[in-house]
Amino acid sequence: MDINCDMGESYGQFKIGNDKNIFPYISSCNIACGFHGGDPLHIEQTIQQAIRYNLRIGAHPSYPDLVGFGRRKMVLSAAELRANIGYQVAAIKGMVESLGGQLSYVKPHGALYNEMAIHQTEALPVIEAIQRIDKKLSLMGLANSPLATFAQQQGIPFIAEAFADRQYNDQGQLMPRSQENAVITTPSLAVEQVVNIIEHQKVKTPKGEFTIQAQSICIHGDNPAAPAILKALKKVL
């Protein structure tokens, strides 16, 4: 099972996440593109580390919402959204290749990720932006969401993703961070959720459970418990 993490989100003097202690435990790396987090130096250093650890590298673009860390929904026209995503992905792709690596996929961040999972009006401009840059790039998104169908219709390879450190609601979507216990910080609970996904293709919800088929498991880099969760997960896997 692929384990991915959102990385390179520090900006200037503001440190986000614990990238140094996360790299040894993951197989894919989603690198911030500067619009929710990440500055050129941190992005470059993250790419270098990802190449050093031989990780699969993905771009992690967002709404242009640096102040809100990309977690606020923004209303953009299709043309504006397409241009914003194209700008971010092209920048990361160029930096990765200039350092001797290869960009493999795109995983949108935060509010954009959630909107794309269910709304075609958000998904299609993003997919078009990616395909304009490189038709070989895959799109990573929420497993069992309408986005998988949107991707298939547009002919872009889709990587279905589930989460180790986020609770799900009864509709199979991520529980909003504003709700209590939406983020899992206890390693044993995160491991239990991952094992349930891998062995039984199930995720527990407040009122029951739903079936999920995932190709990659995400740990959020800004989760303070990320290193501890990853260490516990490695022992079990």
* pTM for this entry: 0.95
Residue with tokens 């880099």: 221
Per-residue model confidence (pLDDT) at position 178: 85
Cα–Cα dist 35/9, whole Å: 10
Among 143, 114, 142, which Cα is nearest to 211's?
143
Residue stretches of the chain with pLDDT short of 70: none
Per-residue model confidence (pLDDT) at position 85: 98
Residue 76: CB atoms within 10 Å: 16
Q: Please count the CA atoms within 13 angstroms of the CA of 228 that sit on its side-chain side.
A: 11
Tokens standing for residue 149: 């169908």
The percent helix, strand, coil of the chain (3-state, each to 5) is: 40, 20, 40
